[in-house]
Amino acid sequence: MNSPIAPAAPTEITELSVNTIKFLAIDAIEAAKSGHPGLPMGAADVAFVLWSRYLRHDPTDPHWRDRDRFILSPGHGSGLLYALLHLAGYDLPLEEIKRFRQWGSKTPGHPEVHLTPGVEVTTGPLGQGFANGVGMAMAAKMAEARLPGLFHHRIWALVSDGDVMEGVAYEAASLAGHLKLGNLVYIYDDNRITLDGSIDEAFSEDVARRFEAMGWRTQHIDGHDHAQIAAAYDAAIAQDEKPTLILARTHIGHGAPNKHDTHKVHGEPLGKDEVQATRKALGWPEETFVVPDAVRAHFAARAKVMFEARAQWSAHEQRWLADHADRAELYRSLCERAVPGDLLETLLAKLPPTNDATRALAGSIEQMVAAVMPSLVGGDADLGGSTKTPIKDSGKVSAGHFEGRNLRFGIREHAMGSVANGIALYGMFVPFTATFLTFSDYMRPPIRLAGLSNTPVVHVFTHDSVFLGEDGPTHQSVEHVSALRLIPNVDVWRPADSAECAAAWAAAATRRDGPTELILSRQKVEVLPGDATVRGRHAARGGYVLVREESGAAELVILSTGSEVSVAVEAARRLHAEDGLQVRVVSMPCLEVFERQDAAYRATVIPAGAKRASFEAGRTGLWWRYLGLDGLALGVDGFGASAPGPVLGDKYGLTADHVTAHLRAWLRGS
């Protein structure tokens, strides 16, 4: 089902098309007085050959399942991608090119998926797009293994000096080589220039040998010689044993008489004088945003071929479904990333009844989710025995074997988060990752990008507080929950028992507009009071009344999460029994979901007029939005220490005795 590779265009059309790409980017950047013209000018040749002859895509159906994916990893060169999308026929009118980097345009400074048709991933931080592509290649292999004979596409990317220098790309490249992802083809825009000057000032390694050592196939070419470019692409798609890195030696700002091969063309507009000199050198008209008719016709002809290729694949899809009735339901489920509508009720009906660590409780619930959700796949950073996340009764993904659902990321948290984003953006799968909460620091960039990109990824973080104990402050998370809560569009769940773990996993499995963080304990927690099924339903709203005052209006409301909720319940019991106070305990497993509830509901949970206190074994700063200036925030605002967990609980005032005493003294003092 491969699409035909187009023959080389006549030299006149080729030169005209390449210059059109260059000047669409130049003119957009000049109009915005902001941008990076060097990369679009230098990479126009390798991009033109790919997009006009090799790339399998249909601009009329940007989400065609059997399309090739193209990633512009150095997102600062977005002018190149926007020019290509416009010429190829995507819904990106010339007017949008003219509005480059302006409010409300579809041409932001760095490409954003879900905003611009044809953009596959949100790229900006260097190395992220590189790793996303590895995730997409893994997802494609997993799809092919589950649905043999249906798909045959590749993941292409343009990567830069900055990408290959960033550590996240190195981790991802190592994983790609290990898994022998032969469906991955990366073009390295090797222009030897970075924003501040020559790459030689900071980078002198042999990139090809490094990638070869990681199991990649490499090839050196002149990035402006179309015959060499095409030969490299032919060689890349002729084999399927290794990922390919094509080292294309290019010249940044190619065609600019005075700024060619200088860092001055990297991160700022050419400027009026240099633009005029470039127009003269390349024989380009004075008019801006010019697209010659011959260029439009050339790209339109290719678009017609691709439209027909997609139609042929659609017919093939129907025949495949008829011939593989046993896999048709799986295909539908994967395409929809389907989840049963009664998932939460199903989980609540089979809750683990015992006191246990929430990592263990959530791990048991995850198995139930996996049983009814074929699209759920995932793995850990060599910590499966600790995070309790491997999917039972399923194999491990390895080179040549992609049928399994357990991904072995190795000790590569930086890449793990970014690869998971790529898997999710590919479609068909909902990936999860797992590691200790303290290592969420390594994953913050991809978590942020998942929030920005509305990407459905689940991140499981265990060992969530100073109660970790003897491993000490390097592994005890005190600020990490707050740090994750600060990222927009990220839902952070810190459940307190099995019912809340069920609510958390149900929310994570069904969310499609952003990432979900599951924050889980290593130490055991107590089963909370009340009917577990009812509590699970209430917990799904992010915050709910767990223990209600016995009579009259609440005088004190204690807000808590995770393993601290049972301590808050005991403190409330003592304050009522010994002091006669009317105390309400509110469990808040997910502040973000609670904030999305209507104001009336939130007011019924946290009533006006009562004193308010919070209790969580971490930084206290974010709780003040609920407490007001006269509230009390109990937590840990410094680093932990190395000692057994119960000792730390006593030293940091996290026991029922200490919490009760703090609350009593505070209430009396106020």
Q: How far apart are CA 38 and CA 147, in angstroms?
A: 42
3-class SS of residue 449: helix
3-class SS of residue 472: coil
Q: Determine which helix (DSSP H) or strand (DSSP E) holds 634, and give its type and residue range.
A: strand 632-634
Q: How far apart are CA 281 and CA 283, in angstroms?
A: 6
Helices (H), 617-655: 624-627, 645-651
Give the count of beta carbons closer than 10 Å to the beta carbon of residue 531: 11
Tokens in use for 347?
């989980």
On whether the CB atoms of residues 487 and 451 are closer than 8 A, the answer is yes
Looking at 413, 500, 517, 592, which residue is catalytic? 413
Q: Please, what is the angle between helix 565-579 and helix 656-669, to 10°?
A: 50
Q: How far apart are CA 209 and CA 232, in angstroms?
A: 17
Residues 6 or more apart in contact with residue 251 via CB below 8 angstroms: 42, 191, 224, 260, 261
CA 444 to chain centre: 10
Kindly give the pairing relationship between strand 356-357 and strand 524-525.
antiparallel
Residues 6 or more apart in contact with residue 641 via CB below 8 angstroms: 466, 472, 473, 648, 651
What does the buried/exposed string (b/e) look like for 580-597 if buried means 16 or more CB atoms within 10 Å of the residue's CB? Answer: ebbbbbbbbbbbbbbeeb
CA dihedral defined by 256, 261, 267, 270, rounded to 10 degrees? -20
On whether the CB atoms of residues 204 and 223 are closer than 8 A, the answer is no
Reference 390, options 420, 360, 346, 356; nearest CA is 360
Q: Determine which helix (DSSP H) or strand (DSSP E) holds 194, and give its type and residue range.
A: strand 193-194
What does the buried/exposed string (b/e) look like for 325-342 if buried means 16 or more CB atoms within 10 Å of the residue's CB? Answer: eebeeebebbeebebeee
Tokens in use for 634?
């109990």
Report the chain's terminal Cα–Cα distance, integer Å. 75
Q: How far apart are CA 59 and CA 307, in angstroms?
A: 8
Eight-state DSSP code of residue 52: I
Q: How far apart are CA 6 and CA 466, in angstroms?
A: 61
Residues 6 or more apart in contact with residue 444 via CB below 8 angstroms: 483, 487
Q: How far apart are CA 436 and CA 463, in angstroms?
A: 6
Decide if 268 is catalytic. Answer: no
Ramachandran sector of residue 349 (left: φ over 0; alpha: ψ -120 to 50; beta: rest): alpha
DSSP string, 531-557: -HHHHHHHHTTS-EEEE--SSSS-SEE
Helices (H), 238-292: 272-282
| H helices, E strands: number in the chain | 26, 20
Eight-state DSSP code of residue 6: P
Identity at 563, one-letter amino acid code: S
Instruction: Tell me the catalytic residues.
Output: 413
